[in-house]
């Protein structure tokens, strides 16, 4: 949700900023802009992608050793040149880039209008930069103090970087709610919304905490709170590898990430599953097994695809550990005065670790005394820092906006937690425990087999690329997979798709079925196999088109469905990890065939840091 990048040092800032913006473009691509400081401020901004900005300023002066850049996901005001960041204050003293939302911007705007300010854009950010300038000009003070005072007056979220013309050797960065990382080089500093623009220059970083402010010169970094209390910087080492953020020969990040799943899952369980598959070790939960065992209830909070992984988690925990689970959308949980007991355990699932609604849900759970654990992919992200304990998914950076490998890595982590908890609680036998660990260990190899069906999946996709609607059905562990399949299709191909528990079809959706309705059915052999076979027959009886994901060698569904995609056999609790693969590939191919931007679907952003 908006990417921001900044540089101060001896190098030319422009190439660093542009490259950084390209890396951050997954966070928003409505417009892009940069400001460079060399004697004066040179500001360029443009509706569209970073490449549009680059072309537009190809012949302009782009020098300067200090600069800031922004790639936008529009919140206030339509995507156009005027609303693009950076924004400047009326007298041109301050230039800002901002990620987040200033919730009280309308009131502040009215006050500033009364003081004689006028606005060129519809954005909350322009209000903030003018507020800073107003405070700065009213009394004599440093730019940093003006920023701090302004921030005490705003409600909402921000990750921002400010340049003041009167202090041309300084960048001021601040954070509340929206992430900011500072990279420490030799006589230079890098600032960004995440570490991807920084990693090729330095591995040493500082993650800002909420209400931290950093005053950065080429040879000095001061960290303090917005209340002016100095903070000792905690320098962390990045584990991210530069190779992980390239397409590595694939046409799209999404395709690369789909193909990375065998590796991502193996990395996620490596060192956690014993080599002989007899036990699971989860270091991140070592201290808190007691809380998990005592938990009266587990509440899973998440959004989007992570919420679907949470649904799989519900089936896993209830089936094996016999603990009741509720799966909540962060956005609903936070606003409905939820009942939370002190002996509840809350598990927050998030790829980015920055999703605003999930973070807010965590805070409510903590205020009510529950223990909160995280399942996150991005190391050092806000959720990892606000939770009591957690288990990382080691999927590696996920750049494609549609989540793929993060989902399977999340399900892998939830499987390990559920099995380990069940083993602790003795709600499954040791034999069953070890049998499932062994089966989990075999999943990467089986995913390779599912990926090998790509050409067949492409041919099926071709047939349904021009349809306007699709239904996805599944039962039990596979119902969340149906939901996830539908989400993947709609978000990247803009085809309307809905996922349902297969039995629910009779309660309404069946009315939609005719010869124009493709129905994707996740129907591998499990405890409700006979039931789903009946559901496929019901679809066929109404002339629907049935495309079934089935277990290798299943001849029954083969005879009924229009198309089948066979995946290797695995225990039903692990089937989501395999069956989701063809659905991801179908969405990818259909989106591509429809000419959609697979990695950057319209209206979306990867990291949803606003509510």
Candidate ranges 113-121, 229-237, 347-355, 585-593; the one touching ligand F6R (CB under 6 A): 347-355
C-alpha closest to that of 180 among 30, 374, 188, 172: 172
C-alpha closest to that of 407 among 584, 250, 571: 584
Q: Which helix (H) or strand (E) holds 371?
A: strand 371-376
User: Locate tokens 């919730």: which residue?
Assistant: 103
Q: Total number of residues binding ligand F6R (CB under 6 A)?
A: 14
When asked if residue 408 is in the footprint of ligand F6R (CB under 6 A), the reply is no
Exactly one of 491, 526, 566, 572 binds ligand F6R (CB under 6 A); which one?
A: 491
Residue 88 or 352 having the CB closest to ligand F6R: 352
Exactly one of 65, 196, 306, 415 binds ligand F6R (CB under 6 A); which one?
A: 306
Candidate ranges 21-29, 167-175, 301-309, 530-538; the one touching ligand F6R (CB under 6 A): 301-309
Candidate ranges 61-69, 160-168, 175-183, 299-307; the one touching ligand F6R (CB under 6 A): 299-307
When asked if residue 610 is in the footprint of ligand F6R (CB under 6 A), the reply is no
Candidate ranges 213-221, 235-243, 352-360, 415-423; the one touching ligand F6R (CB under 6 A): 352-360
Q: Any bridge partners for residue 71, and if so which?
A: 3, 32
When asked if residue 351 is in the footprint of ligand F6R (CB under 6 A), the reply is yes
When asked if residue 581 is in the footprint of ligand F6R (CB under 6 A), the reply is no
* DSSP SS3 for 588: helix
Instruction: Give how far the C-alpha of residue 538 lies from the chain's centroid of Cα atoms, to the nearest Å.
Output: 37
Residue 18 token pair: 């542009």
Residue 201 or 588 having the CB closest to ligand F6R: 588
Residue 487 or 547 having the CB closest to ligand F6R: 487
Exactly one of 261, 355, 408, 412 binds ligand F6R (CB under 6 A); which one?
A: 355
When asked if residue 551 is in the footprint of ligand F6R (CB under 6 A), the reply is no
Q: Which residue spans within 226-368 are E strands per DSSP? A: 236-237, 297-302, 325-329, 344-350
Residue 320 token pair: 């094996």
User: Locate tokens 């660093």: which residue?
Assistant: 16
Name the active-site residue from 2, 303, 376, 596. 2
Neighbours of 278 (CB within 10 A): 12
When asked if residue 264 is in the footprint of ligand F6R (CB under 6 A), the reply is no
CA atoms lying within 13 Å on the CB side of residue 177: 23
Exactly one of 20, 159, 179, 304 binds ligand F6R (CB under 6 A); which one?
A: 304
Helix orientation angle between 261-269 and 405-425, rounded to the nearest 10 degrees: 30
Minimum distance from CB of 605 to ligand F6R (Å)? 8
Minimum distance from CB of 500 to ligand F6R (Å)? 18
User: Locate tokens 């990890």: which residue?
Assistant: 577
Residue 272 or 405 having the CB closest to ligand F6R: 405
Exactly one of 350, 384, 387, 415 binds ligand F6R (CB under 6 A); which one?
A: 350
State the DSSP code for 245.
G
State the DSSP code for 169.
T
Residue 445 token pair: 């190899």
Residue whose C-beta lies closest to ligand F6R: 304
Minimum distance from CB of 387 to ligand F6R (Å)? 13
Provide the b/e sequence for 477-494 (b: ≥16 CB within 10 Å).
bbbbbbbbbbbbbbbbbb
When asked if residue 261 is in the footprint of ligand F6R (CB under 6 A), the reply is no
- Please confirm, yes or no, whether 606 is among the known catalytic residues: yes
When asked if residue 358 is in the footprint of ligand F6R (CB under 6 A), the reply is yes
d(CA 572, CA 595): 36
Residue 411 token pair: 């399900």
When asked if residue 403 is in the footprint of ligand F6R (CB under 6 A), the reply is yes
Candidate ranges 31-39, 191-199, 302-310, 337-345; the one touching ligand F6R (CB under 6 A): 302-310
User: Locate tokens 């805070």: which residue?
Assistant: 363
When asked if residue 352 is in the footprint of ligand F6R (CB under 6 A), the reply is yes
Instruction: Give how far the C-alpha of residue 411 lies from the chain's centroid of Cα atoms, to the nearest Å.
Output: 15
Minimum distance from CB of 306 to ligand F6R (Å)? 4
Q: Quick check: 244 and 233 in contact, CB under 8 A? A: no
Enzyme catalytic residues: 2, 606
Residues that bind ligand F6R (CB under 6 A): 303-306, 350-352, 355, 358, 402-403, 487, 491, 608
């Amino acid at each position: 949700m908006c990417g921001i990048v900044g540089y101060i040092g001896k190098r030319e800032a422009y190439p660093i900023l542009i490259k950084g913006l390209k890396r951050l473009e997954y966070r928003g691509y409505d417009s892009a802009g940069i400001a460079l400081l060399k004697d004066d401020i040179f500001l360029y901004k443009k509706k569209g992608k970073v490449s549009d900005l680059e072309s537009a300023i190809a012949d302009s002066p782009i020098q300067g050793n200090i600069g800031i850049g922004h790639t936008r996901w529009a919140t206030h005001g339509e995507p156009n040149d005027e609303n693009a960041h950076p924004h400047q204050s009326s007298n041109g003293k301050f230039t800002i880039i901002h990620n987040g939302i200033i919730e009280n911007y309308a009131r502040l705007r009215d006050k500033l209008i009364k003081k004689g300010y006028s606005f060129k854009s519809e954005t909350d950010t322009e209000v903030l930069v003018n507020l800073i300038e107003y405070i700065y000009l009213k009394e004599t003070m440093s730019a940093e103090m003006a920023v701090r005072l302004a921030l005490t007056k705003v409600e909402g979220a921000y990750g921002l970087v400010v340049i003041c013309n009167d202090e041309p050797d300084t960048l001021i960065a601040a954070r509340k709610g929206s992430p900011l990382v500072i990279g420490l080089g030799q006589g230079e500093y890098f600032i960004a919304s995440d570490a991807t623009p920084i990693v090729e220059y330095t591995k040493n970083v500082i993650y800002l905490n909420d209400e931290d402010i950093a005053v950065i010169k080429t040879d000095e970094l001061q960290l303090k709170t917005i209340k002016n209390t100095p903070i000792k910087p905690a320098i962390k080492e990045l584990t991210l590898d530069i190779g992980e953020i390239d397409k590595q020969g694939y046409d799209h990040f999404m395709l690369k990430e789909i193909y990375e799943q065998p590796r991502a899952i193996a990395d996620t369980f490596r060192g956690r599953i014993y080599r002989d598959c007899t036990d699971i070790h989860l270091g991140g939960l070592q201290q808190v097994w007691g809380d998990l065992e005592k938990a009266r209830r587990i509440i899973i909070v998440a959004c989007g695809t992570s919420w679907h992984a949470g649904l799989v988690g519900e089936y896993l925990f209830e089936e094996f550990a016999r603990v009741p689970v509720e799966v909540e959308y962060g956005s609903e949980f936070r606003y409905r005065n939820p009942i939370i007991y002190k002996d509840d355990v809350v598990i927050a699932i998030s790829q980015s670790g920055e999703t605003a609604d999930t973070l807010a849900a965590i805070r409510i759970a903590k205020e009510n005394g529950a223990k909160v654990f995280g399942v996150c992919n991005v190391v050092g992200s806000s959720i990892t820092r606000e939770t009591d304990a957690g288990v990382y998914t080691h999927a590696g950076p996920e750049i494609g906006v549609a989540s793929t490998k993060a989902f399977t890595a999340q399900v892998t982590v939830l499987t390990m937690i559920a099995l380990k908890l069940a083993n602790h609680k003795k709600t499954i036998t040791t034999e069953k425990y070890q049998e499932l660990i062994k089966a989990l260990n075999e999943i990467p190899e089986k995913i390779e087999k599912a990926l090998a069906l790509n050409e067949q999946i492409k041919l099926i996709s071709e047939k349904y690329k021009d349809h306007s609607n699709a239904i996805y059905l599944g039962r039990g562990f596979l119902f969340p997979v149906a939901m996830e399949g539908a989400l993947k299709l709609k978000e990247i191909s803009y085809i309307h798709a809905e996922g349902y528990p297969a039995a629910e079809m009779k309660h309404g959706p069946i009315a939609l079925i005719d010869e124009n309705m493709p129905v994707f059915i996740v129907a591998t052999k499990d405890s409700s196999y006979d039931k789903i076979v009946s559901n496929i027959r019901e679809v066929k009886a109404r002339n629907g088109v049935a495309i079934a994901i089935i277990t290798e060698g299943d001849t029954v569904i083969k005879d009924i469905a229009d198309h089948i995609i066979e995946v290797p056999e695995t225990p039903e609790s692990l089937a989501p990890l395999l069956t989701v693969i063809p659905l991801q590939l179908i969405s990818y191919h259909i989106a591509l065939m429809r000419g959609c931007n697979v990695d950057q679907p319209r209206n979306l952003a990867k990291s949803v840091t606003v509510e």
